[in-house]
Amino acid sequence: MRKLTIDGREIEVAEGTTVIAAARALGIDIPHFCWHPELSVAANCRMCLVEVEKQPKLQPSCQLEAADGMVVHTDTPKVREARRAMMEYLLLNHPVDCPICDQAGECKLQDYYMLYDLKASRLWSEEGKVRKRKRAIFGPHVIYDAERCVMCTRCVRFCAEVVRDPVLIEVHRGDHSEIAVAPGRTLDHAYSLMTAHVCPVGALTSRDFRFQCRVWFLASTPTICPGCATGCNAFLDHHRGEAFRLRPRENPALNRSWLCDDGVLAFRLHNDHRLTAPELGRGDDARPVAWDEALAEAATLLRKVPKTQRAAVLSAEHSCEENWALAAFAREALGVERFFVTGRTAGTADDLLRHADKNPNRAGVRSMLGAEPEPLERLVDEATAGSIRGAVALGAAAATQGPAAAAGLLRLEALVSIAPRRGPLPEAAHVRLPSPSFAETAGTYVNARGQAQEFPQAMSPRGEALEVPDLLARLARRLDLGLPFRSAADVRAAVAPRLPRPAAEGGAP
């Protein structure tokens, strides 16, 4: 261990810890562009210079390892003057794009200018500025503005070190330097949007988020990525009921500081194809109705099906609380003995973050049911054969697709769908009951490691959507049947002992 003093405060850190990391542990923010805790040290931006007693020159704190007895000062006049000079150099050719730049409001260059520079440029003419590429398409998700780039090389190191795909390179020299895509390549790997995330300025931006919303309008809520079974910790940024992006939330034990592109874009599960009111009718014949009419029709259809021919479909997309509520309703109110599970179909996996199971809570479904649910394919087969005639289904996705699956679902005489958005299951249903999206309800997912992770509600349910426990309680009353829960609090209390160990919590924004 090494004991040092930073701005009058003592701290003991492990051998090999850098001064900037030690300061961060004390809550002292040393300005930086190129340093990132998950990447190698570049020491090229020179913004993190600090004064160390008994050292003749300022030292880059990102590169300087802590030593016993070291005394560090991070905010002396000498340090501030060095940072001011560095800012003047960086801003010499920088465009005045802040009013149209997506990074405005969360830009380190903007913040440090207000702290250290606050002076007009000494460059005598705008014509003397070095001109570079302004809208270079690097890949399907990322666009590059070379004039805004401070050449911190975070993006280059991220691709080479984390993704192990050195698709980004440095080209040219001096103030003509810029980032480029390697010849014959495109920035299209599964983590390309993280290059925009690690960019401290507005050089690399998301083509999806570009010009969509000013960041100071966005509220940020900690959540769990709904994109796959890894369960990455994330922040959901939203405004007036619409989700705009997911950002990684630091969790060293799980996703570190990263999200895959599918995870970043998983906010679309909240925005797209939403069901906002109850509907009756299948396919194109569906029409919106009042809740009372929808619940009455659902109750009538379910009563016509014998208990032995009823089933429940749980959802690997939905929370433990929603799945437990449906399982309890199906057992107690409908007498169901057959439980199936659906969700999004399997996809691509890798050894970094992506899991082949594209559902966040398949393990949670097993925990809530206390057994392995049957696959949806079996329900389709039995519906086709006529041995199952009615079902209540949670979720929009159908794990089995194609003409045969659709025909099998259409053979059901009573299919009641509870879902936040349109999809194969709601389209085949006689009654569609809108529920909240992952962003509109609080709950728990259990990831592929068996870790339970809670997430809070970020927004109010859209339209007439009802929380699943409330919706099921109303349907049970229509059926003149009782339930083992009366409120969401009852559901949480019942779910808690069925959950595996909790996962470590993620960090702050």
Q: Quick one: 61 exposed, middle or buried, by C-beta within 10 A (0-12, 13-18, 19+)?
A: buried
pLDDT at 312: 98
* Residue 453 Rama label (left phi>0; alpha psi -120 to 50; beta): beta
Place of tokens 């690399």: 204
Residues 4 and 66 sit within 8 Å (Cβ to Cβ)? yes
Which amino acid, residue 422?
R
Residue 508 has pLDDT above 60, yes or no: no
What per-residue confidence (pLDDT) applies to 488?
A: 83
Alpha helix (H) ranges present in 304-356?
320-332
384 CB-near residues (< 8 Å, 6+ apart): 404, 407, 408, 411
Radius of gyration in angstroms for the set of CA atoms belonging to the chain, rounded to a whole number? 27
pTM above 0.95, yes or no: no
Instruction: Please say if the pLDDT value at position 210 is more than 50.
Output: yes
Mean of the per-residue pLDDT values for the chain?
94
What pLDDT, on a 0 to 100 scale, did the predictor assign at position 126? 64
Mean pLDDT of 399-421: 89
Nearest CA among 212, 105, 203 for reference residue 509: 105
Query: What kind and span of H or E run contains 455?
Result: strand 452-455
Structure confidence at residue 504 (pLDDT) = 55
CA-wise closest residue to 486 among 499, 469, 506, 504: 469
Asked if residue 503 has pLDDT above 60, the reply is no
| Residue 125 confidence (pLDDT) | 63
Confidence (pLDDT) at 509: 38
Q: Which residues pair with 170 in a beta bridge?
A: 179
- The pLDDT, as a whole number, for residue 489 is 87
- In the chain, domain spans: 2-75, 279-498
Asked if residue 284 has pLDDT above 90, the reply is no
Residue 329 has pLDDT above 50, yes or no: yes
What is the per-residue pLDDT for 119?
76
What CATH number was assigned to the domain covering residues 279-498?
3.40.50.740
When pLDDT is averaged across residues 412-441 and rounded to a whole number, the result is: 96
Could you please state the CATH topology (level 3) that the domain comprising 2-75 is classified under: Ubiquitin-like (UB roll) (3.10.20)
In the chain, % of residues over pLDDT 90: 89
Domain 2-75 and domain 279-498, same fold? Reply is no
